[in-house]
Structure formats: structure tokens, C-alpha cells
Amino acid sequence: MESQVRGGTRWKRFAVVMVPSVAATACIGVALAQGALAASFSVSGQSFKVTADKLVGTGFAQYGAIDSGYNLDGSKTAHAVAVSSFSKAEITNMCQSVVTPNIPLLGSVSLTLKAGGGGKPVEADNLYIDVEDLSADATFENIRIGVAGKDLKGPGIKSGDAANPFGFGQDAEKATLTDVKQTAWATTAGTFKLSGLKMSLSSGVKECY
């Protein structure tokens, strides 16, 4: 069975793009230089924006959860998110940006990461991302909607998630998204290969979209 949904309005609560937070790049330089990150990592507490021309992934699962963390001033915060996971995914022309505001003497500073161009997409497996907003053209193959979280295929519910294992979920054998734009709060990955990685810092607010 194949299900297709177009446009951004209906999918703003559903995230499918699996990308690492740019905030993590400062501490994984050696792994990125070798082209792959072969360890789990997670980043939370600040939102970041992502765009991609195309994402193709297998072993997709999705469920609702609460993402808790801390604001830049140290106060606690919590966000309702849609956690999406893939067993494997390829991402073409990925751009990711995060803005840190109100830095003394500097003001806002933007960190931008780009990878997956030149015919060599980003490759990843066992990926999870906590997203609050997404727009894309999406095609799902052999999709199941309304599946209990405990019965989801793919990587399944992430250990430690504030999620109801008996709550609403959906999964699919394969998902293809194009013209992706999203805002996310956190992500974890098993292995991530960033082909053609380019990272830059700039003053002011400069985001992928």
C-alpha cells in the first residue's frame, strides 16, 4: 500500500528528516573528518532548522513524546514533539542551522552545517529526531497509521523517552520526502556519515530558511 501527502499544513506535527544537531559538531571534529560518526549522541535544549532536497529512508516509525531540557538561561523547559526514527536513511543537500542569541559583545551568532551534495548523500542509521514543525512532499510505502507504540516497526521507541508505549503511532517500510523544511529540538544517531561537510559561523541571524 502507498500513501501520499503533499504540502506543509497537514504534516507540521510529523517529522521524518533524520539529521544531527549542528550544536554537536563542535565536539565530533575527528569523526567528521573521517567521514563517519560511529557512536550515539544527543543534543537538546535549543531548536534548530533543517532543509533537504530529498530524504529516502527505510524502517520508519513515529510517535508522540515530551522533550525536556533547559533554556539558555538555565531554566527548565519542555516541548511536545513528534519523534521519528529510521533504520537507515539517505539525505540529499542537507542544510542545518542554529542561532545562539545575546552573546556578550557579539550579539547573535549563527552556526550553519551543509553536507550531502555532489551526488553523495548523507548516510545514517538508527536515527531519531524530536520535531515540532515540518513541511514536505511525502510518500510512504506500506504505511500503518494508529499503531500502538509498543507494536511499531523500525527502531521503535527510544529508551528514556517520555512517551506512552500504548499511545498513537505509525510506521512504514519506506518513506520519501522532498523539499523538506523543519524545526527540531533534539536528535540521536547510531552512525552518521556526512559527505562533503562544510561548517561556518557568522554574525547575526542566518538560517537555512
- Contact assessment for residue 172 and residue 46, using Cβ atoms and an 8 Å cutoff: no
Asked if residue 58 is part of any domain, the answer here is: yes
**pLDDT of 103 higher than 50:** yes
Residue position matching grid coordinates 550553519: 112
Q: How far apart are the C-alpha atoms of 190 and 24, rounded to whole Å?
A: 14
> Which residues span the domain enclosing 164?
2-203
| pLDDT surpasses 70 at 150 | yes
Q: What integer is the mean pLDDT of 140-156? A: 91
Taking only the tens place, the pLDDT of each residue in 39-89 is: 444 455 678 899 999 999 999 999 999 887 776 677 787 888 999 999 999
171 has a pLDDT exceeding 90: yes
- DSSP state, 34? T
Residue 38's pLDDT band, with cuts at 50, 70 and 90, is very low
Does the structure show a pLDDT above 80 at 26? no
pTM of the model: 0.78
Among 119, 118, 112, smallest CA distance to 95 is for 112
DSSP line for 128-173: EEEEEEEEEEEEEES-EES--GGG--TT-SPTT-B--TTS-EEEEE
- Tell me if 121 is assigned to some domain: yes
pLDDT score of 16 more than 60 = no
Domain count, the chain: 1
Beta bridge partners of 56: 90, 176
Assigned domain for 140 exists? yes
What is the pLDDT, as a whole number, of residue 161?
82
Domain membership flag for residue 209: no
Q: For residue 208, is it within any domain?
A: no
Cite the beta strand spans of the chain per DSSP E.
Answer: 2-5, 41-43, 48-70, 76-103, 107-115, 122-141, 144-145, 169-189, 191-193, 198-203
Residue 159 resides in a domain: yes
pLDDT at 8: 42
